[in-house]
């Protein structure tokens, strides 16, 4: 007798997003993670796989303040938007890889999607901020003790010259960096499951872009179930991804 295989895909349940003291705290994330941890606990026998993504940045990153300076030589404040026009008219200048940064903004501008935003330094590799929050990780470890397989960690954002919201590929893939291109092994892993539960932070960015990347593939798109009360948006960007979520069916949203 065949049984459905269920996967839980947890997006960026990290300290910097999910703790009040985190560098890029998303209000409501602590409660989101409490509900997510309870979901894992209550479905420990039903979940056949768990994959967690992690933002993994360096201090010098195209979306961090230290990468840019204005005409007066000052770094941008967090949540500053830098457009292609801003760079072309000299309002902002990249300190590192000027040509690469300009190419990135040109490609991003042509996509007409998310603007380029400067974030507080967050999820620095090896730092506390990059760690999965305890309340979720403890339940993931409890789940792992009952299984014959391991949970998986997928890191993203290591290349400092491109944003990497979605887990499948960077916003602008870099030709010489395979880690920024479409993650075929990960996609093949997702395709093995009959149901893919999705939760994490932030609803407006990394969760939304991950969903959009997967919506291109019907064999995966129809399997997605969004745990809608296990995610919250970045303040000021509450409706940024409304268009993405509107592409899902109402039956693909549940509360836990």
Q: Does the pLDDT of residue 1 top 50, yes or no?
A: no
- Are 82 and 164 in a shared domain? no
C-alpha distances (whole Å) from 235 to each of 124, 160, 171 are 21, 24, 21
**Domain CATH for 201:** 3.40.50.850
- Are 39 and 81 in a shared domain? no
Residue 27: give the domain boundaries. 6-57+123-254
The percentage of the chain sitting over the pLDDT mark of 90, rounded to a whole number, equals: 95
DSSP string computed for 31-76: HHHHHHHHHHHHTTTT--EEEEEEE-B-SS-TTSGGGEEETTSPPP
Residue 49's nearest CA partner among 223, 176, 190 is: 190
Domain assignment of residue 151, yes or no: yes
| pTM to 2 decimal places | 0.95
- Are 161 and 74 in a shared domain? no
Per the CB < 8 A criterion, the answer to whether 223 and 196 are in contact is yes
Q: Does the pLDDT of residue 2 top 90, yes or no?
A: no
- Are 162 and 238 in a shared domain? yes
Mean pLDDT of 207-211: 98
| Cα 222 from Cα 211, distance rounded (Å) | 11
Mean pLDDT of 32-39: 98
Residue 55 bridge partners (DSSP): 156
Number of domains making up the chain:
2
- Are 91 and 162 in a shared domain? no
- Are 77 and 161 in a shared domain? no
Domain assignment of residue 118, yes or no: no
Per the CB < 8 A criterion, the answer to whether 69 and 95 are in contact is yes
Domain assignment of residue 91, yes or no: yes
The percentage of the chain sitting over the pLDDT mark of 70, rounded to a whole number, equals: 99
- Are 83 and 135 in a shared domain? no
- Are 133 and 187 in a shared domain? yes
- Are 204 and 133 in a shared domain? yes
Domain assignment of residue 1, yes or no: no
- Are 101 and 167 in a shared domain? no
- Are 83 and 172 in a shared domain? no
Question: Parallel, antiparallel, or unpaired for β 195-200 and 224-227?
Answer: parallel
Mean pLDDT of the chain: 96
Q: What is the pLDDT of residue 3?
A: 64
pLDDT tens profile 83-122: 999 999 999 999 999 999 999 999 999 988 789 999 999 9
Pure H helices in 145-223: 184-191, 206-215, 218-221
Mean pLDDT of 232-241: 96
Backbone angles phi, psi at 197, to 5 degrees: -85, 135
147: confidence class by pLDDT, cuts 50, 70, 90: confident
């Amino acid at each position: 007798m065949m049984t459905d295989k269920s996967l839980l895909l947890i997006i960026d349940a990290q300290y910097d997003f999910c703790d009040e003291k985190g560098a890029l705290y998303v209000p409501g994330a602590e409660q989101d993670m409490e509900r997510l941890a309870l979901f894992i606990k209550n479905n420990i026998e039903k979940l056949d796989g768990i994959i967690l993504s992690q933002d993994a940045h360096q201090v010098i990153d195209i979306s961090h303040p230290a990468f840019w300076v204005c005409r007066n030589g000052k770094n941008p404040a967090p949540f500053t938007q830098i457009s292609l026009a801003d760079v072309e008219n000299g309002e902002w200048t990249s300190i590192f890889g000027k040509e690469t940064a300009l190419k990135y903004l040109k490609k991003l501008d042509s996509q007409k999607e998310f603007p380029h935003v400067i974030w507080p330094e967050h999820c620095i590799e090896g730092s506390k901020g990059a760690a999965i929050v305890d309340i979720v990780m403890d339940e993931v470890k409890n789940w792992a003790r009952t299984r014959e397989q391991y949970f998986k960690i997928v890191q993203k954002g290591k290349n400092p010259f491109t944003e990497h919201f979605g887990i499948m590929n960077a916003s602008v893939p870099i030709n010489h960096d395979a880690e920024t291109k479409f993650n075929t092994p990960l996609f093949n892993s997702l395709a093995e499951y009959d149901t893919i539960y999705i939760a994490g932070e932030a609803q407006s960015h990394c969760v939304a872009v991950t969903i959009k990347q997967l919506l291109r593939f019907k064999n995966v798109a129809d399997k997605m179930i969004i745990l809608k009360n296990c995610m919250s948006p970045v303040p000021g960007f509450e409706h940024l991804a409304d268009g993405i979520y509107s592409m899902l069916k109402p039956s693909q949203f549940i509360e836990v």
